[in-house]
Amino acid sequence: MSEQPSAASVLGIAVLTVSDTRNVDTDTSGHYLETAVVEAGHRCSARAIVADDIYRIRAIVSQWIADPEVDAVLVTGGTGFSGRDSTPEAVLPLFDKQIDGFGEVFRALSLAEIGSSTIQSRALAGLANHTVIFCVPGSTGACRTAWNGIIREQLDADHRPCNFVGVLRARKSAE
C-alpha cells in the first residue's frame, strides 16, 4: 500500500451509488468507497445516491465532470443485466475515451472471487473532460476488488509505470 499522496496529488473524488433500494443508512458500497478514498489521502468531493435511471445518472455524472473540484467519479451499481441496470448506457455517451482495460482487468480479478458469474458484470471506465470515471458493480465486495486491485493505484501519482493523475492534472493546468 502506498503512502499518503502529497498535497499536489490529492484528488477530489465523487462517489455515486446507483440503486432503487439503498439509502444513506444501507449504502454499504458507497460508504466503503468514500472511506477508501479518504484513507488513501484524497478528498471526497461529493457523494450521492440515485435511482437506476439513465437520465438521472447521466445528469449527476455530467455535473461532476463539469465541476473543477471533481477529478474522478466512482459509480457503484447498475452494471449488471437486470431490467433496470443502466449505468453503462448512462455514462458511455459521456466518455471522450473509454478505458477498455479496466473492465477486462476487473473481470479477471473478480473471476478468482466469484467464478464465472463475473461475465455478468459490465464494469467500465472512461475519461470525460479530463475526469476519470470508474463504474463497478453494486456489491461492497466488487467495490473492494476494484478499489484495491485497480483504482487506488491508478489514482496514485507515485504508481509506476503509469497512472491517471497526469491526465487529470492536465485539466487543472488548462484552467
CATH number of 7-26+35-46+54-77+101-174: 3.40.980.10
Residue recorded with cell 470525460: 128
Instruction: Tally Cβ neighbours within 10 Å of residue 25.
Output: 7
pLDDT mean over 113-139: 95
Would the pLDDT of 1 be above 50? no
The pTM of the full predicted model, rounded to 2 decimals, is: 0.93
Residue 101 neighbours by CB under 8 Å, 6+ apart: none
Beta-bridge mates of residue 75: 16, 135
The pLDDT score that the predictor gives to residue 7 is: 61
Query: In whole angstroms, what is the distance from residue 172 CA to residue 156 CA?
Result: 16
Domain boundaries of the chain, sorted by first residue: 7-26+35-46+54-77+101-174
